[in-house]
Structure 1
Amino acid sequence: YITAGEGNRVFGYTNDDMKKLLGLRLNKELYLCYFIMYMTLLYFYKDSSSYQFREYVKSENIIDETSKYLADITKKLDVLSTDEVEQDSFKAIALLWDELPAVTGNQEGDSARASKASRAGYVKLVFNFMLAQRLFVENADRYYPTDRMKALSENYFEEYRGRLYQLLGGEEEDA
């Protein structure tokens, strides 16, 4: 599979493209969606040496993972980061996430509509994007990774060792 590399404008999307596709206006909303995508990737794959260890994901799994990791990162930032922009970016994402209700109205978990009104709504926005990109297949509120998702994930862990992975508690040599 051909997948976008960092800065690849031929096969990738710009931040503005992604905001349009996801129906977002603000960078912090986009970065929250990126973080949710990353949490989804980590839910299935921890590194390139391990095969997929989960068969499917449900949106409540990603809501829980995102909440847990954002809380951990904001605690660690003062110690780990000397970059004020990085600190402010993660704090903005964490504050946005914390302000959101888990769900809106009487919707629960996977039955939530894609929106910016709740945590479940943001996860649904991301999952809808991943479905449209053929990274997921949905069946009964369960999302299964496709071969394309597996290829994208393997390339990420083999070729890119990101700052986000370090902040989440991974070591660079494990990435």
Structure 2
Amino acid sequence: MLKNRPDRYGPVAVTIHWLTAILILAALGSGFQADQAADAATRAGFLRLHIPVAITVLLLTLFRIVWWWRFDRKPIPVEGSRPWQERFARFVHVAFYVVILGMVASGIGMMVLSDAGPSIFGGSGVLPDFHDYPPRVPHGIGAFLLVILLVAHIGAAFYHHFIRRDELIRRMWYGA
């Protein structure tokens, strides 16, 4: 069965979750590396990875939203969770969606305004300084917020696994 059960996530949700997690780390890493690169060729190399990975994160996020909205329901909260913890978890997940969508929009804005596509993917032209374009500010803020959200999300998972020992992490993995 592809859908969730009341006590655990199904294979579709688990795959989306872990694939998105890996790709977000790759997008953040390549984005930070591109920002810190000493020369344009190195920066363009990181952006050749960063952009397709970010687009894949966007597509997975949109698929996840549609999946939850139209096809599946989330499992019931783990036993013993307090209402404020459930509200915080919902906030973090919604914030992930908002930040991801905002980062993709600001990234597209930078690409359109700077006309950097040919210099990144075609190897022709001079790579622009993205700091000269207004979408760079929300993109940078979004990266910072994404790191904070990841720390909160991973911290909560570790809290459940090591402190509460309530099997929450097992719900977001394959198997019975």
Same fold (TM over 0.5): no
Q: When you count strand as a share of all residues, which structure comes out higher?
A: 1
Say which one has the larger Rg: 2
TM-score, normalised by the number of residues in structure 2: 0.31
Question: Which one has the bigger helix percentage?
Answer: 2
